């Protein structure tokens, strides 16, 4: 693919740099380019743009994936910090906006226009590790939280293909597992103990339900 782009770029540059020829045979800058030459350059530029577009699209998707993974880790950390800090045997009933800088649940980078507010679907299903609907569509929320086991997941955008959607969901949620799986005793912390907070969390906003 890169070789094709270089070949087309070279052809276009040779046309642009070609010296003009006077009617008498002398070279110079007096004569402009012919319509055919300009059309060839336009066609080549169009082909180059088409070849480059997948790279631009993939870079944008990669950035969204990385940003969503980071937020998912931060939000999962908040769920588990709450559980440890208040020595709760169960997980918090909701993911609260006050836990985060800005006072709202972070918006999902997967979707343009997501505000983050009230964008967490809360369920209580023993053993459920994934939402039944993994692609965001009408009536669903970007984030899915199971209060029964503390699992937090991110729904993904529709790529127009079931296989691609499944791949995207698995990639985004690779690090979405709960951090503390066997309770608070293994950490040796008690009520009021100070725990380091992940970037984006605010200590003052975490109060017991």
Domain ranges (residues) in the chain: 52-205
pLDDT band at 151 (very low <50, low <70, confident <90, very high): very high
The CA distance from 155 to 94, in Å, is 17
pLDDT tens track for 152-200: 999 998 989 999 899 999 999 984 333 333 333 323 333 333 334 445 5
What per-residue confidence (pLDDT) applies to 1? 53
The CA distance from 58 to 63, in Å, is 9
What per-residue confidence (pLDDT) applies to 181? 34
What per-residue confidence (pLDDT) applies to 197? 45
Better-scored residue on pLDDT, 82 or 54: 82
Better-scored residue on pLDDT, 52 or 105: 105
Residue 152 near residue 143, CB atoms below 8 Å: yes
What per-residue confidence (pLDDT) applies to 31? 58
Give the H or E element holding residue 123: strand 120-123
For 162, other C-beta atoms within 10 Å of its C-beta total 10
pLDDT tens track for 88-122: 788 999 998 888 888 888 888 887 655 554 589 99
Residue 116 near residue 108, CB atoms below 8 Å: yes
**Torsion-angle region of 33 (φ positive above 0: left; ψ -120 to 50: alpha; else: beta):** beta
Mean pLDDT for the stretch of residues 41-47: 76
Give how far Cα 4 sits from Cα of 11, 12, 20, 42, 56, Å: 11, 12, 27, 16, 17
Mean pLDDT, the chain, integer: 72
Handedness of CA 119, 123, 126, 130 (dihedral sign): negative
pLDDT above 80 for 130: yes
Residue 159 near residue 60, CB atoms below 8 Å: no
């Amino acid at each position: 693919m890169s070789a094709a782009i270089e070949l087309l770029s070279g052809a276009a540059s040779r046309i642009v740099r070609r010296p003009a020829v006077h009617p008498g045979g002398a070279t110079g800058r007096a004569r402009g380019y012919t319509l055919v030459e300009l059309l060839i350059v336009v066609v080549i530029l169009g082909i180059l743009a088409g070849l480059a577009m997948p790279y631009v699209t993939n870079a944008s998707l990669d950035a969204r994936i990385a940003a969503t993974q980071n937020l998912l880790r931060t939000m999962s950390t908040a769920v588990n910090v709450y559980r440890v800090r208040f020595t709760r045997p169960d997980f918090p009933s909701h993911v609260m906006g006050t836990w985060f800088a800005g006072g709202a649940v972070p918006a999902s980078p997967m979707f343009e226009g997501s505000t983050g507010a009230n964008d967490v679907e809360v369920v209580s299903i023993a053993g459920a590790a994934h939402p039944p609907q993994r692609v965001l569509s009408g009536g669903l929320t970007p984030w899915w939280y199971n209060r029964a086991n503390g699992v937090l997941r991110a729904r993904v955008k529709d790529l127009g293909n079931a296989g691609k959607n499944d791949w995207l969901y698995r990639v985004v949620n690779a690090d979405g597992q709960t951090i503390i799986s066997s309770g608070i005793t293994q950490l040796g912390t008690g009520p009021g103990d100070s725990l380091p907070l992940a970037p984006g969390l605010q200590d003052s906003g975490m109060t017991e339900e």
